[in-house]
Amino acid sequence: MLWLSTPLLLLSSLSPTQSEDIQFTPLTKDFLELINNDNIYNRYATPTQYDEYIAKHGEGITTNVSISMYIEGISSFRAQTMDFHLDMYFQQDWIDHRLAHNGSAPMLIRDKTVFKKMWHPDVYFANARSATFQHITEDNFLVWIYPSGRVWYDCRISASIMCDMNLWKFPLDSQQCAMRILSYAYPESQLRLKWTTHPGLVPIEVNSDIRMPDMHLVEVKEGYCNGTYATGVWSCMTATFHVDRQKMHHITQTYVPTGLIVVISWFNFWLDVDSAPARVSLSITTLLTISTQANTVRLALPEVSYMKAIDVWMGSCMAFVFGVMIEFTICHFAKNQELVKSRENGRPGGLGARDLLVDSTLATLFGAARDVDDLTDDDIMVSANSSNDTQHIALNILNSGNGEPRLRGIANEMERNGTKYIIGHDRMRRGRNKPSLGRLRQQ
């Protein structure tokens, strides 16, 4: 029997207030007759506006309603929709002397029909996108009416609260989202909301097991706000949720992949300047990959008019990759200019005045030759085929005068800086018809 005596001793040591909260009594017949009699109980008048109270205490006294809440759960703060979901137990506490009774414990009310016949505050959430009462398996609410006339109303509410997020530091940001609580019909002169100051109660209590995938809840702080509107001044309260965004997800899914893509684009610097296919393909592939990654991040965020931290990162990554392409273009152009100067200066091994230079790498990629002497505006067509180490080049240059083909034969082959060049020069001009040119191309 020792196990039974221990809890009995604990119950006997409770203070009267604590044991009063533990026990309750059912509704009495006298109480039901009271609230059903409109001549005695006016449910449309606040607890400080009915005739008997005014006759005893005078007019102009405000009804005070104490608010407290227990946060059961918080879902993710969605940047795309600028809101978050909240599941809470919402408690309201006020005194209505008309409901005082002679019982020894609070009366419990679980019938909404009875509760609707009583006066109760018309509290609402001003910045809620939507809010609903929990009804499974029964209506989640209770009302305790103490012998002194104190009314304790507790209900469970699910609400989607709007939050004006500032995303300019995203995803390195922290947010402060305030839920605004007001009375809908009663101005502050008639009804005043305040956070509870009852002993043993805290205004806002949070479930310690709350975990969010993308946010960390730092604190929930109670406060007051300005309820001034065109129609009057309303009592206004705030519950401010301070959250920090979890950064590891964005580091592993965004920052690290895009950073590695930029490093991969730098492999271009170790490729030969004449390796155009490899250089161009690598640069374009990395640029498109970063662009796709940036588009994925953009779709998860709202369209805002300012630049975010993630936009700066993505733009910097694209700038680095674009710089690699610019570097390749400049280097390739500079090398070709060097060859042109070598020809003009008549250096040993240089090209003749009317020689044609064909970069076999570019010819293979683009099907085009580069006329480095720029002595004619003739169109140049090159077809290039590779068979092991053998290059077969056929050139067709059209005369601007009569449009007849003029052929340039292959004169020499040279290799410089690891690149193979095929040099051609003008043949003696002689008439050829198109079929003979076609046969030559087939060779």
Question: Domain boundaries in the chain?
Answer: 11-246, 249-343, 356-442
Judge whether 106 and 146 are in contact, CB under 8 Å.
yes
Give pLDDT < 50 ranges for the chain: 1-20, 347-400, 403-409, 425-443
Beta bridge partners, 158, equal: 87, 132
In this prediction, residue 183 carries a pLDDT of 93
In this prediction, residue 309 carries a pLDDT of 93
CATH topology identical between 11-246 and 249-343: no
State the Rg of the chain over Cα: 42
Burial of residue 299 (number of CB atoms within 10 Å: 0-12, 13-18, 19+)? exposed
Judge whether 54 and 181 are in contact, CB under 8 Å.
no
Judge whether 106 and 32 are in contact, CB under 8 Å.
no
Q: Which amino acid does the sequence have at 95?
A: I
Locate tokens 């694209």: which residue?
318
Phi, psi of 387, rounded to the nearest 5 degrees: -135, 105
In this prediction, residue 223 carries a pLDDT of 95
Confirm or reject CATH 3.40.50.300 for domain 11-246, answering yes or no: no
Phi, psi of 86, rounded to the nearest 5 degrees: -130, 135
The topology under which CATH files domain 249-343 is Methane Monooxygenase Hydroxylase; Chain G, domain 1 (1.20.58)
Taking every pair of Cα atoms in the chain, the longest distance, rounded to a whole number of angstroms, is: 128
